[in-house]
Structure 1
């Protein structure tokens, strides 16, 4: 059995698809399953059992001998939420319990961290573990992810294999339910369909022109390729960046979305919302050398390749992966 937490969510459901493609069909899907808009993400997937996240540890105590691997993808990911107690429960303490169970039952673990831990990038975007305690995340979500990374590195007792993945800006199918937190590609597509134009955030940083804010956008299909690589690899434990390794502008992203629809770009700019303006990352770019150094040699899809696949094969017709 392979456990996937956050199974009904964006990355978790795509990971289950990838596992099914590799003929791993005994999947234990862990989530709260109370959000009906996420239900289509699991339709057609081969899942052995659904377990509510609050009953998961009791279930694991009874079934651990059958478990081969745990992907802990589930988390509260709202970067605008300011109540840290929510993140403390779901992102920190829950993750600690999974960590302890993986030690006790000798189960390898991959868990989701985040590039939000890097803050404004004052220390760069290298997954150097010695720098992690010095990072300055910009919001409670990023703080919770960094807190757990620091805690994991400090532990004397660890799972025999574990990896934390700092997801950069992931986009792709199965994110329909995420609302404001969905990728800019998703929002750009919907804006084009509704009005024929895309509104991007105006720059409030004199070092960046409007639309030239840059992020490391990574396609979810590449993300799940890395996840399954680590499941098969099971050595070189540690914390790894997971981005494309190449920063691209939001203007590039919007233009690529128009081109995927066979349209000429029409792009305008609006002020960045006040509640995120002071905590806005103007540049991110993952240094991917560490993952490459342990043998991951697959190329990452370019922004144009990923957007074309996402738009033409999933967003048009609202299909799920």
Structure 2
């Protein structure tokens, strides 16, 4: 196998490179946009052939015809706060179309990141078997991902294998360079170390207690296991949810972080900024039946087990790299 991993120095991408190495695959091209960030640190313990800057890669792409078996496309602007939609359109939509077309022309596998942000406020549910044309994302990032999902659905010719993943709330090692977009566990760990307490948003919706807002938190090691499954099952194609199928509260997440650190929970409730309240999601939970229906049978990490592994084996070890 010869694999191109875009976003390969980033959070999920670098963990996938680790998984490929564990599978014995070292013929890997990492594509990313590192610039002045420290994402290069995620590459230090990986085996790969070359690194190419994102902005130079598409020009070089024709050179890989007949030389690669898979493109795993995790590279994107994943900031839900990004306001430059022209950038999102070019980077998340047009770029992905180019890779799809290359994989189609060369009949190789294409595995790419969609997002649970495509579900918008959740009024249409979180079922990957339903008509995606009904979805109304709440931010430009989610819409840029939705645009590609809709485009891919219309294509009459496709890559040898095409798999999109609607990632829910992913957490785990190697997310250290995501800034404000890193997981709540990551920020909780740092806040607890700094102040001894963690602040969670108050609730402004009937039926939800303060800190009781629910999310489907999925450990990045489970993401990697599902990607490995797809690599090993090239007969499977489609757009799939990738969460755990179990919604948990932010209180549970914070409490799990405290427990993993060997501390009693010390949680305060803070006001949610006015700018967030109108579009704030109180519930996400992936319907995982579609993934199960194609044969994926492994259990997912519980929130408690995932938090324990992440905190004790990575965060408490000076941000160990996976």
User: Which band: TM-score by shorter chain?
Assistant: over 0.9
Aligned to 1:217: 217
Secondary structure, aligned partner of 2:141: helix
Aligned to 1:33: 34
Aligned to 1:279: 279
The alpha carbon displacement at 1:33 in A equals 2.5
Q: What TM-score results when the alignment is normalised by the length of structure 1?
A: 0.97
Secondary structure, aligned partner of 1:66: coil
CA contact (8 A) 1:80 1:276 kept: no
The alpha carbon displacement at 1:274 in A equals 3.1
The alpha carbon displacement at 1:276 in A equals 2.7
Matches within 5 A, 1:1-321: 1-128=2-129, 130-317=130-317, 318-321=319-322
- C-alpha distance in 1 between matches for 2:204 and 2:85: 27
- C-alpha distance in 2 between matches for 1:290 and 1:172: 24
The alpha carbon displacement at 1:40 in A equals 0.8
The alpha carbon displacement at 1:61 in A equals 0.8
- C-alpha distance in 2 between matches for 1:280 and 1:85: 24
Q: What TM-score results when the alignment is normalised by the length of structure 2?
A: 0.97
The alpha carbon displacement at 1:137 in A equals 0.9
The alpha carbon displacement at 1:310 in A equals 0.1
Moved over 6 A (4+): none
- C-alpha distance in 1 between matches for 2:39 and 2:275: 27
The alpha carbon displacement at 1:270 in A equals 1.2
Secondary structure, aligned partner of 1:137: coil
The alpha carbon displacement at 1:185 in A equals 0.4
- C-alpha distance in 2 between matches for 1:273 and 1:146: 27
Query: RMSD across aligned C-alpha pairs, in angstroms?
Result: 1.0
- C-alpha distance in 1 between matches for 2:213 and 2:64: 47
Structure 2 residues without counterparts, runs of 5 or longer = none
User: Deviation string for 1:161-195 (max 9, x for gaps)?
Assistant: 10110000000001111111000000110111000
CA contact (8 A) 1:5 1:71 kept: yes
The alpha carbon displacement at 1:51 in A equals 1.2
